């Protein structure tokens, strides 16, 4: 191993993709069980590495020297070998500082809650102090060692104005989790979550739903990666490189979800878009057929709409959980369940393919739109839901090539 990342579980990591864009050096992900860390660090058979949870404190006793910032924080996430000496750094400080500033919220004079008490929490405390926070409270599952419990946070820190999540709660693959109830903090001005997979955690989505500025951790990953790469290679990287790499990785990992009425052209547009962007294409109706071995109309007839919606929800959840960088066409009724929209928003951008009602034809394979009256009823009840769900609404008068180009430009250059 020359360069890379060590941690206990790395299935969520985007670090390889980040470093591939930063320099011409091999970068490996190395999962280490706790009992394997000692042998790895004593052998120090590497040029330079990044360190992630839960080893940012574990590695410190093996280092010959720690820079002042890492020593003050008490956590190391970057190690470089010089001969037989190991030097430790903390590039998370700079990365998290950039991420907090990205929210547009000035922490000076604010009351801040930091969720978690591990190595990342120590960095977060240092960042918030450096940015002038008036009050910093660390929240942990158990009170003690300077941390308060979540119950204490609700009871005594409801005035908090900024929340920073430094726990793994909500991280892939266990995404259906939010570490704290935002409604209990009426003065909240901003939220940051260091988790970057999924791109938008439940915490970030909950904040944005309430109109609160919120950012996930991808920008932090990229920004600290820039500083780590400088340490690896002993060179300077232009500041604008972080924005370039962030947008590139975000586009690579983000899905494109197409929503709209049956017959609005989602599959046709999706296939053309897949070819134009060189991305895999999936149709959730096709996935449902593969999953059940039954035609959609047969599921409706034999099991009913409720059963179909349950199956559809599970298929969308799985597609959103495990698929990255794809074009995904959804069924016409996918927007009827909030859980579907939530799953898609975590990892994608939603495009509504609007189409005039008179240009949509009822067909026998669409059980809820078998005739013109049924189709009209579905259109009227769903149209406002499509508009509310969409990040972008494509006007009905665009032809296939125009729709593909509109989506392509928005996705790549927004």
Alpha carbons 271 and 329: distance in angstroms, whole number: 9
Please name the residues in contact with 245: beta carbons below 8 A apart, sequence gap of 6 or more: 18, 21, 22, 222, 225, 226
DSSP readout, 319-341? HHHH--S-EEE--TTGGGSHHHH
Taking the C-alpha atoms of residue 154 and residue 140, their distance in angstroms, rounded to an integer, is: 12
Residue 136's closest CA among 153, 119, 151, 120? 153
Q: How far is CA 187 from CA 111, 112, 133, 340, in A?
A: 10, 11, 15, 30
56 is catalytic: yes
What does the alpha-carbon distance between residue 124 and residue 142 come to, in Å, rounded to a whole number? 19
DSSP state of 187: T
> DSSP letter string over 1-30?
--EEEEES--TT--HHHHHHTT-SS--EEE
Q: Distance (Å, rounded) from C-alpha 31 to C-alpha 26? A: 16
Q: From CA 76, how far away is CA 89, in angstroms rounded? A: 5
Nearest-10 crossing angle of helices 284-292, 296-303: 60
Q: Give the DSSP H or E segment for 405.
A: helix 400-413
Contact 63, 56 (CB under 8 A): no
Question: Is residue 399 within 8 Å of residue 264, measured between CB atoms?
Answer: no
Report whether 126 contacts 73 (CB < 8 A): yes
Instruction: Give the dihedral sign, CA 275/280/283/287.
Output: positive
Cβ contacts of residue 316 below 8 Å, gap of 6+? 284, 330, 334, 340, 343, 344
Active site (catalytic) residues: 56
């Amino acid at each position: 191993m020359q360069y890379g990342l060590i941690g206990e579980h790395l299935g969520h990591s985007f670090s390889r993709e980040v470093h591939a864009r930063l320099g011409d050096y091999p970068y490996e992900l190395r999962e280490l069980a706790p009992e394997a860390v000692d042998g790895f660090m004593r052998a120090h058979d590497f040029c330079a590495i990044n360190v992630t949870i839960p080893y940012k404190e574990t590695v410190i006793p093996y280092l010959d020297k720690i820079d002042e910032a890492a020593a003050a924080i008490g956590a190391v996430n970057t190690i470089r070998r010089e001969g037989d000496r190991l030097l430790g750094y903390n590039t998370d400080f700079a990365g998290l500082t950039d991420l907090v500033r990205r929210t547009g919220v000035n922490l000076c004079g604010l009351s801040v809650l930091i969720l978690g008490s591990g190595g990342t929490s120590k960095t977060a405390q240092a960042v918030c102090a450096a940015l002038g926070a008036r009050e910093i409270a660390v929240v942990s599952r158990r009170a003690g060692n300077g941390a308060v419990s979540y119950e204490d946070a609700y009871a005594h820190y409801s005035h908090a104005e900024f929340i920073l999540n430094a726990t793994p709660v909500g991280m892939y693959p266990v995404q259906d989790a939010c570490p704290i109830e935002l409604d209990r903090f009426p003065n909240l001005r901003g939220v940051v979550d260091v988790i970057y997979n999924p791109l938008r955690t439940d915490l970030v989505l909950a904040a944005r739903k309430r109109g609160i500025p919120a950012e996930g951790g991808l920008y932090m990953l990229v920004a600290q990666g820039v500083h780590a790469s400088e340490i690896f290679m002993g060179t300077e990287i232009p500041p604008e490189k972080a924005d370039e790499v962030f947008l590139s990785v975000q586009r690579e990992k983000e899905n494109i979800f197409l929503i709209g009425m049956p017959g609005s052209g989602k599959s046709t547009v999706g296939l053309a878009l897949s070819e134009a962007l060189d991305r895999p294409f999936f149709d959730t109706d096709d996935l449902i057929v593969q999953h059940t071995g039954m035609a959609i109309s047969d599921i409706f007839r034999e099991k009913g709409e409720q059963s179909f919606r349950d199956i559809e929800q599970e298929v969308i959840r799985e597609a959103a959980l495990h698929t990255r960088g794809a074009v995904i066409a959804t069924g016409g009724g996918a927007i009827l369940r909030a859980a579907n929209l939530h799953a898609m928003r975590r990892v994608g951008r939603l495009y509504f393919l609007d189409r005039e009602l008179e240009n949509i034809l009822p067909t026998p394979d669409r059980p809820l739109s078998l005739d013109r009256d049924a189709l009209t009823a579905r259109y009227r009840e769903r149209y406002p839901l499509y508009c509310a769900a969409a990040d972008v609404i494509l006007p009905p008068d665009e032809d296939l090539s125009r729709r593909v180009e509109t989506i392509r430009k928005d996705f790549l250059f927004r």
